[in-house]
Amino acid sequence: MTRAEWIEVLAIGIVTTTSWLVWPHFPSTSPLWQIVLGLSALLLAQSLVRDVAILVRSRRLKSNEPRKEAQCLCLESTVGLTGVIAGLALIGLGSSHQIAISRWEFFLAVAGTMALGFIIKDFVISWNPFDVRREKDHLNLIVRWKNKPKL
């Protein structure tokens, strides 16, 4: 594991420990849409912090890696965005189903979401052809929706 990954694991530990401590300040029941939206936002926030750290690091260390074009998206962002859309759909459908959450469930939901983000951080999903592959620090990819015509 790299130094950045160790720092991220430490940050996950700090955030999950904090979630255990702040649980009494959250209501014991929450609507389903709020849980889905909150966990998806947490996943996207983790991705954003990591991407900003990679950008800062890459500006400091000039990389000679060429940028390449690909028809793909970050799997972590795709999962997070899908969760946000699902949460907004539940709001739009008027879902008010309340779910009771214990301190352990809250802690495990935060820990599980952040662990999932850490596990899938290096994967991209492409659609032409359909594939899920590992691209370490995939900020060097330029996303294209369609292939450029060959000249």
Q: Residue 109 burial by CB count (10 A; 0-12/13-18/19+): exposed, middle or buried?
A: middle
Name the residue ranges covered by the structural domains of the chain: 3-143
Residue 112 phi, psi dihedral angles, 5° rounding: -65, -40
CA–CA dist 54, 47 (Å, integer): 10
Token pair belonging to 122: 């290096």
pLDDT in tens, 113-128: 999 999 998 888 887 7
Q: Is the peptide bond before 149 cis (omega within 30 degrees of 0)?
A: no
Q: Is the pTM of this model over 0.75?
A: yes
The separation between the first and the last C-alpha atoms of the chain, rounded to the nearest angstrom, is 42
Report which DSSP code applies to 129.
T
C-beta neighbour count of 57 within 10 angstroms: 14
pLDDT in tens, 5-53: 899 999 999 999 999 999 889 888 999 999 999 999 999 999 999 888 8
For the cut 90, the answer to whether the pLDDT of residue 84 exceeds it is yes
